[in-house]
Amino acid sequence: MAKPILLYTSLCLLLVLFNGCLATQTSRQQQRFNQCQMDRLDALEPNHRIEAEAGVIESWDPNDKQFQCVGVAVVRRTIEPNGLLLPQYASAPQLIYIERGYGIFGAVLPGCPNTYQESQQQQQQREGQQRDQHQKIRNFRQGDIIALPAGVAHWLYNDGDSEVVALSLLDTNNQANQLDENPRHFYLAGNPEDEFQLQGRSPRGQRRQQQQGQGRRERGHQQQQGQGNNLFSGFRTEDLADAFNVNENTIRNLQGFQEDRKNIVKVKGRLQVARPPRSREERERLERQEREQEREDEREQRESQSRRGGHGHDNGIEETLCTLRLRENIHDPSRADIDNPQAGRISTLNSHNLPVLRWLQLSAEFGRLQTDAIYVPHWNRNAHSVIYVVKGRAQVQVVDDFGQTVFHDELQQHQILTVPQNFAVVKRASSSEGFEWVAFKTNDNAQISPLAGQTSVLRAIPADVLANAFQLSREDVSELKSNLEQQEITMVKPSRSSSQRRTIALMKNLMVVQSLESEVMTLCPSDFYDSNSD
Window 66-125: residues binding a second copy (CB under 8 A): 68-71, 84, 86-87, 89-91, 106, 108-112, 114, 118, 125
Residue with smaller CB distance to a second copy, 9 or 285:
9
- Give the torsion through C-alpha atoms of 372, 378, 382, 383, to 10 deg: 30
Pairing of strands 363-369, 185-187: unpaired
Q: Is 472 in the site for a second copy (CB under 8 A)?
A: yes
Residue with smaller CB distance to a second copy, 278 or 313:
313
User: Of 140-148, 293-301, 338-346, 442-450, which part binds a second copy (CB under 8 A)?
Assistant: 442-450
Report, in Å, the least distance between residue 436 CB and a second copy. 20
Residue with smaller CB distance to a second copy, 180 or 281:
180
Q: Which of 446, 441, 395, 386 is nearest to 416 (CA)?
A: 386
Residue with smaller CB distance to a second copy, 174 or 329:
174
Report, in Å, the least distance between residue 281 CB and a second copy. 26
Residue with smaller CB distance to a second copy, 483 or 514:
483
Cβ pair 373, 429 in contact under 8 A? yes
Q: Is 436 in the site for a second copy (CB under 8 A)?
A: no
Query: Which residues are CB-contacts of 57 (< 8 A; sequence separation ≥ 6)?
Result: 49, 50, 75, 76, 77, 78, 193, 195, 263, 264
**Which of the residues 26 through 45 are near a second copy (CB under 8 A)?**
27-37, 39-40
Q: Is 147 helix (H, G, I), strand (E, B) or coil?
A: strand
Half-sphere exposure of 265 (CA within 13 A, CB side): 18
Cβ pair 48, 201 in contact under 8 A? no
Helix (H) or strand (E) holding 266: strand 264-266
- Give the torsion through C-alpha atoms of 76, 77, 78, 81, to 10 deg: -150
- If one counts every other C-beta atom within 10 angstroms of the C-beta of residue 259, the result is 20
Which residue(s) pair with 409 in the sheet?
A: 396
Q: How far is CA 82 from CA 15, 55, 105, 156, 484, in A?
A: 65, 10, 13, 10, 51
Q: Is 516 in the site for a second copy (CB under 8 A)?
A: no
Report, in Å, the least distance between residue 502 CB and a second copy. 7
User: Of 140-148, 280-288, 292-300, 313-321, which part binds a second copy (CB under 8 A)?
Assistant: 313-321
Alpha-carbon distance of 1 to 21, in angstroms, equals 19
Query: Which residues are CB-contacts of 459 (< 8 A; sequence separation ≥ 6)?
Result: 481, 484, 485
Instruction: Pick the binder of a second copy from 267, 322, 338, 521 (CB under 8 A).
Output: 267
Q: How far is CA 525 from CA 115, 159, 437, 475, 515, in A?
A: 78, 73, 49, 11, 11
Instruction: Pick the binder of a second copy from 47, 306, 342, 518 (CB under 8 A).
Output: 306
Residue with smaller CB distance to a second copy, 289 or 482:
482
Residue with smaller CB distance to a second copy, 19 or 279:
19
What does 380-423 look like in DSSP terms, one character per residue? ESS--EEEEEEEE-EEEEEE-TTS-EEEEEEE-TT-EEEE-TT-
Instruction: Pick the binder of a second copy from 7, 8, 213, 517 (CB under 8 A).
Output: 8
**Which of the residues 320 through 349 are near a second copy (CB under 8 A)?**
none
Alpha-carbon distance of 135 to 322, in angstroms, equals 9
Q: Which of 399, 518, 532, 403 is nearest to 477 (CA)?
A: 532
Residue type (1 letter), 259? E
Q: Is 277 in the site for a second copy (CB under 8 A)?
A: no
Q: Is 164 in the site for a second copy (CB under 8 A)?
A: no
**Which of the residues 361 through 380 are near a second copy (CB under 8 A)?**
374, 376-377, 379-380
Instruction: Pick the binder of a second copy from 17, 162, 299, 514 (CB under 8 A).
Output: 17
Instruction: Pick the binder of a second copy from 161, 408, 433, 516 (CB under 8 A).
Output: 408
Residue with smaller CB distance to a second copy, 285 or 496:
496
Q: Which of 90, 170, 195 is nearest to 386 (CA)?
A: 170
Residue with smaller CB distance to a second copy, 329 or 356:
356
- If one counts every other C-beta atom within 10 angstroms of the C-beta of residue 224, the result is 11
**Which of the residues 202 through 261 are near a second copy (CB under 8 A)?**
204, 207, 211, 216-218, 221-222, 225, 228-236, 238-250, 253-254, 256, 259
User: Of 172-180, 281-289, 331-339, 363-371, which part binds a second copy (CB under 8 A)?
Assistant: 172-180
Q: What is the DSSP letter of 462?
A: -
Instruction: Pick the binder of a second copy from 100, 142, 287, 451 (CB under 8 A).
Output: 451
Instruction: Pick the binder of a second copy from 103, 160, 190, 344 (CB under 8 A).
Output: 190
Report, in Å, the least distance between residue 478 CB and a second copy. 6
Site string for a second copy, 122-161 (x = CB under 8 A): ---xxxxxx-xxxx-x-----------xxxxx-x-x----
Say how many residues touch a second copy, by CB under 8 A: 236
Pairing of strands 416-419, 385-392: antiparallel
- For helices 463-470 and 474-486, what crossing angle results, to 10°? 120
Residue with smaller CB distance to a second copy, 278 or 501:
501
Residue with smaller CB distance to a second copy, 261 or 331:
261
Report, in Å, the least distance between residue 470 CB and a second copy. 5
Residue with smaller CB distance to a second copy, 262 or 331:
262
Instruction: Pick the binder of a second copy from 206, 316, 332, 433 (CB under 8 A).
Output: 316
Residue with smaller CB distance to a second copy, 376 or 390:
376
Q: Is 332 helix (H, G, I), strand (E, B) or coil?
A: coil
Q: Is 445 in the site for a second copy (CB under 8 A)?
A: yes
Cβ pair 191, 129 in contact under 8 A? no
